Amino acid sequence: SLYLEQNIFDLIEIDSLGNSKILRNLDLNRNRIRKIEINFDEIEFLNLNFNYSTKIDDSTFQNMVKLKRLHINENRIESISLK
């Protein structure tokens, strides 16, 4: 698990988190993330509540095949485009 809540992150890059293959729970609650670019195969829980995300599309969570719980409350979502 990795808890990065209540910071001022606006972008989380995959390489900045090290060995993401073993990461199961990621909490990015209450940051300033505008675009969701997190594609970790093993993530089971992802908390993105209270961020600034505006868009969700087909590619947003495509590689997260083990994702069981996703929290995206209180964002600024204007567009959801799923096929």
56's tokens: 């969700």
Q: Tell me, what's the pLDDT at 44?
A: 95
Q: Tell me, what's the pLDDT at 35?
A: 81
Is-contact 2 27, C-beta < 8 A? yes
| Residues forming beta bridges with residue 27, ordered by sequence position | 3, 47
Q: Tell me, what's the pLDDT at 17?
A: 60
Q: Tell me, what's the pLDDT at 25?
A: 93
The DSSP 8-state label assigned to residue 45 in this structure reads: E
Please count the other Cβ atoms lying within 10 Å of the Cβ belonging to residue 16.
9
Q: Which positions of the chain have pLDDT values less than 70? A: 13-20, 83
